Structure 1
Amino acid sequence: MTLSIQTLSEADRRLVAEWAAACAERGLPLFEAECPNDDRPRDAIARTRAFARGELDTAAEIRRRFGDGSAARNATSPAAAAAARAAGQASAVCHMGAHALGAAAYAVKAASLSAQACSHQVKWARSSVNSKLLSPEPRHFECRLIAGIDLSRQAKE
């Protein structure tokens, strides 16, 4: 069976979840500047980190995460909406690792739509991949993560 980021084990999704949370967190100030009383994206990121630490299970998070994406509808700017979507994508890593790419892509999009430098966000996302993900094992899902970040950036340009 060929492994892909879509078929990661739960242990691997927990590793990827921390990185996805870190990506999403970088755009959080963009959302909170517009919606200071809406804590759904911050809560989604906190739950993603709790999942990464093994404190939450996949089934419970799948049930809870559907509200996370709705925070983007409250944003007035595209950058803030993208930041909220990054948090929603991060919270979805619990059931499919590919959502980490969504978290990274929306974080890059939020940065590119704001005064933040998009290339700085892309460089940060690439350099911050957890060293546990960079294993010599043949699955190499970190290559797909980095390729996905690069492709999402190119799609935005």
Structure 2
Amino acid sequence: MAHRIDLTMKDLRAVAAYAAESAARVLSIFEQCHPSDTRPRDALEATRGFVQGGKRGKALRDAAWAALKAARQAEDAAASQAARAAMCAASAAYLHPLATATQLRHILGAAAHAARAVEIAKGDGARVDTDPFQHAIRSAPASVIDVLCRYPSAPAGGGRVGELLRCLDRELREISAETSAYRAGR
């Protein structure tokens, strides 16, 4: 059985803010294909409400499910990934305090789906040099990296999105290790 991890509401709000920012960067990919479908945008708005002090309740959960439904109904693969990023952002508030690798999807799922959306939109040759991927690394606050490092490394599987998630995980843990080494050397 996995041990419990200390998580505060401040930790959850930081993770959700990071996830919402990642998803917001690709929302236009979805909206260009489905201009009248507001479900992914609604999921991001619900996430921002939580980040600003709102509750983790039914409205946030329902917004996440609705964004997932939008992703499943999208005919365009890039739009589907962008909607999945919004779903992951709304789901970030539900990060569980259990030390299981699968929880990393709550932390990095939005960024991984956002990067995949851009890869598909630009053509699969783009790969990990996509702007959302690099931005996800550069913009990760120390508080989110700290939460990430409390969990085991990202799990195997999950196709290309899983690969992106593992790559983000490695990069952010490396930043944490470099920061720790720097502080120890002072």
Same fold (TM over 0.5): yes
Amino acid of the structure 1 residue aligned with 2:137: R
Partners in 1 of 2:82 and 2:150 — Cα distance?
Answer: 22
- Residue 108 of structure 1, CA deviation: 1.1
Report if the CA contact (8 A) 2:16-2:92 is conserved: yes
Q: Which runs of 5+ in 2 are unaligned?
A: 97-103, 155-160, 168-186
How many residue pairs match? The answer is 145
Pair 1:100 & 2:99 matched: no
- Residue 130 of structure 1, CA deviation: 2.3
Superposed CA offset, 1:35-80 (max 9, x none)? 00001101111111111111x2112323543222101123221110
What is residue 55 of structure 2 aligned with on the other side?
57
What is residue 137 of structure 1 aligned with on the other side?
none
Amino acid of the structure 2 residue aligned with 1:78: A
What is residue 73 of structure 1 aligned with on the other side?
72
Partners in 1 of 2:55 and 2:107 — Cα distance?
Answer: 17
Pair 1:111 & 2:110 matched: no
Report if the CA contact (8 A) 1:62-1:94 is conserved: no
Partners in 2 of 1:132 and 1:114 — Cα distance?
Answer: 31
Amino acid of the structure 2 residue aligned with 1:65: A
Report if the CA contact (8 A) 2:40-2:87 is conserved: yes
Pair 1:153 & 2:164 matched: yes
Report if the CA contact (8 A) 1:26-1:107 is conserved: yes
Amino acid of the structure 1 residue aligned with 2:7: L
Structure with the greater relative contact order (CA < 8 A, sep ≥ 6): 1 or 2?
1
Percent identity between the two aligned chains: 33
What is residue 139 of structure 2 aligned with on the other side?
128
What is residue 85 of structure 1 aligned with on the other side?
84
RMSD: 2.7
Equivalent residues in 2 for 1:7-46, closer than 5 Å? 8-46=7-45
Helix, strand or coil at the partner of 1:114: helix
Partners in 1 of 2:165 and 2:148 — Cα distance?
Answer: 18
Greater Cα offset, 108-117 or 69-78: 108-117
Q: Which runs of 5+ in 1 are unaligned?
A: 135-139
Highest CA radius of gyration, 1 or 2?
2
